[in-house]
A and B are shown apart, each in its own frame.
Chain A
Amino acid sequence: MNAHQIIIRPLITEKNTNLMQLNKYCFEVDKNASKPEIGAAIATIFNVTVTDVATINVRGKMRRRGIRTGYTSRWKKAIVTLAAGNTIDVFEGM
């Protein structure tokens, strides 16, 4: 898996915007990616120094269509902490 396969998209929400003040950035990442792989991928793509990676496996939500019920896909969220002085361009100006 290359870096762009690991990092799917940045997660831009109200909560994550607040986390940026703590130099923490959130991404949706590949379900099978490990913390080191995620850290390395972020460092490669954005040219930053990653100090910590926290991950959360987000469970699929139950959805119902009439009598049928199912679940949305499970996915993995990563909260990446950068070294002081590092920022990620994609969030610049936020």
Chain B
Amino acid sequence: MKVTSERMPRSILQLTIEIDEATVEKELDRASRGLSQKAKVPGFRPGKAPRAILERFYGRQALLEEASEGMINAGFKYALESEGIEPIAQASLGDVQFNVMPYTVVINVPVEPITKIADYSGYKQVFAVPAVTDEVMNRAMDDMREKHVVLREPEESRSAQQGDLITAEVDVVHNGLSINGRIDGQPGQSTDLILEPGRLIGGLMEGVIGMSIGENKTVAATMPEDYTDETLRGEAVTFDVTVRRIQERILPDWNELPTLENKEGTLADLKHATSDELAKNARENAENRLVNGFIDSLVAGAVYDYHESMIELEADRILRGQEQEYARYGTTAEAVYRQMGRKREDLVAQYLPQGEERLKRNLAMREFVTAEGILVDDSDIDVEIDAMLESYEPEQRETMKALLREQLVASVANAALDKKIRARVMELVAQSGPDAEPAAKKKSTKKPASTENDDDAPSAAAPKKKTTKKAE
């Protein structure tokens, strides 16, 4: 048996297999035994007609057709073993030549993708953590207080005042058409309105203040310039408001807030802790922006060669993640799809663009991890498990430790790898100080990945098993 292989675009390895005569004869014999069982040859009981008789009776072509599957399988198996190929999806059959010896079969095998990432050594960004301003701090404290608001019906019937929570039916009209579905809830359904400055669309709060239960009023307002629906930005609309309920919002005293938040200490301590928390979040967000920016750049600058089945696989994974969510809510994916009136295959097709994006990201990150030699070993997993266990009660820790060590070890490894990647990216990318160059200028120094840059491609011999955990 002779095998020649050629790498084709879209991550396909084209195998041309010459099937040797011994295999052909063996498979023809096997096929004739099979055909003999099915065929009715006069003078012979089923299964007793010899190959030569069958060949004369049905022709060699019929026998070859019967034997072709066996010959192809035998050739394919030999090719996979001899070339050390690991297909990543179903192979497809190309040209088959069974007319002249040696018989040849062409098989297209989807194999591992090839990704070349661009040189990222010049990618630098200024790492700046925004300060926690008084405004941010005050908003956080107000939000915290708002969580503990108590609603109460006014003791005496009265009209709506600033600070109240109003339940009202609101019909929004733009250019003479009702657009309720695009604003708040469904037409005819009640909406809660908090009469506080900055909480409602400009003009609506002022219009509602003073209205009584059952009262109907048309309030003219202008949609804000940063409204989510672009077509309505800055547009004049009218709100047809019918008030159904008025409730007083009683905010807790500032000094009660630490107790309500289950925190020890005074309001000043709570403010201090909140400030620390906000600073920590701000730092994390800044880090996230930096890391995500680097990854986006890496993904965009990489050159990929992958098989389309991988996109489908990724889309399927996304859907499976959703199905697990359904299961968590006590329903089955089948029930949801039935209710939606859609088939799973259609949904997989819908997720193909997302699947492709995720695949590219995974491939680029896998190359990065390989190039940087980032590995996760047992000690990293132990550290990660210890960090995770801190969020559990002491009596739960032993059980959780066993669970994290056994069943969830892949997730733990992923988390550990993620941390290592982030740390490495920060090392590579983050620039501090006023002399840091603007990111855009630095970005332009990146070399595009090209075939000439093959030497820059990460070595295939780099450890892969551990690194693929993240990519997968």
Asked if B52 and A14 make an inter-chain contact with CB atoms under 8 angstroms apart, the answer reads no
- Distance to closest chain A CB from B43 (angstroms): 3
Asked if A94 and B44 make an inter-chain contact with CB atoms under 8 angstroms apart, the answer reads no
Chain B residues near A13 (CB-CB < 8 A): 42-44
Determine the residue in chain B with the shortest Cβ distance to A18.
B48
Asked if B52 and A94 make an inter-chain contact with CB atoms under 8 angstroms apart, the answer reads yes
Assembled-state Cα–Cα distance A17/B52 (Å):
11
Determine the residue in chain B with the shortest Cβ distance to A92.
B52
Q: Mark A75-94, 1 if CB is under 8 A from B, else 0.
A: 00000000000000000111
Assembled-state Cα–Cα distance A93/B43 (Å):
17
Besides A13-B44, A94-B52, 9 new A-B residue pairs in contact (Cβ under 8 A), listed by A number? A12-B43, A12-B53, A13-B43, A14-B43, A14-B48, A16-B43, A17-B44, A17-B50, A94-B50
The chain A residues found within 8 Å of chain B, CB to CB, are 11-17, 92-94
- Beta-carbon contacts under 8 Å, B161-181 to A: none
The 6 A-B residue pairs with the shortest CB-CB distance, nearest first, are: A13-B43, A93-B52, A14-B44, A94-B52, A14-B48, A94-B50
Determine the residue in chain B with the shortest Cβ distance to A94.
B52
Say what secondary structure dominates the interface of chain A. Answer: loop
- Distance to closest chain B CB from A82 (angstroms): 18
Chain B residues near A94 (CB-CB < 8 A): 50, 52-53
Report the interface size class on chain B.
under 10
Asked if A11 and B50 make an inter-chain contact with CB atoms under 8 angstroms apart, the answer reads no
Q: Mark B42-66, 1 if CB is under 8 A from A, else 0.
A: 1111001110110000000000000
Determine the residue in chain B with the shortest Cβ distance to A16.
B43
Determine the residue in chain B with the shortest Cβ distance to A15.
B43
Determine the residue in chain A with the shortest Cβ distance to B52.
A93
- Distance to closest chain B CB from A28 (angstroms): 12
Chain A residues near B52 (CB-CB < 8 A): 92-94
Assembled-state Cα–Cα distance A32/B238 (Å):
116
Assembled-state Cα–Cα distance A13/B53 (Å):
9
- Distance to closest chain B CB from A89 (angstroms): 12
Chain B residues near A93 (CB-CB < 8 A): 52
Chain B residues near A15 (CB-CB < 8 A): 43
Within 8 Å by CB of A11, from B43, B45, B49, B53, lies B43
Assembled-state Cα–Cα distance A17/B49 (Å):
9
Assembled-state Cα–Cα distance A15/B42 (Å):
12
- Distance to closest chain A CB from B54 (angstroms): 11
Determine the residue in chain B with the shortest Cβ distance to A17.
B50
- Distance to closest chain A CB from B45 (angstroms): 6
Determine the residue in chain A with the shortest Cβ distance to B51.
A93
Assembled-state Cα–Cα distance A7/B50 (Å):
24
- Distance to closest chain B CB from A27 (angstroms): 13
- Beta-carbon contacts under 8 Å, B15-52 to A: 42-45, 48-50, 52
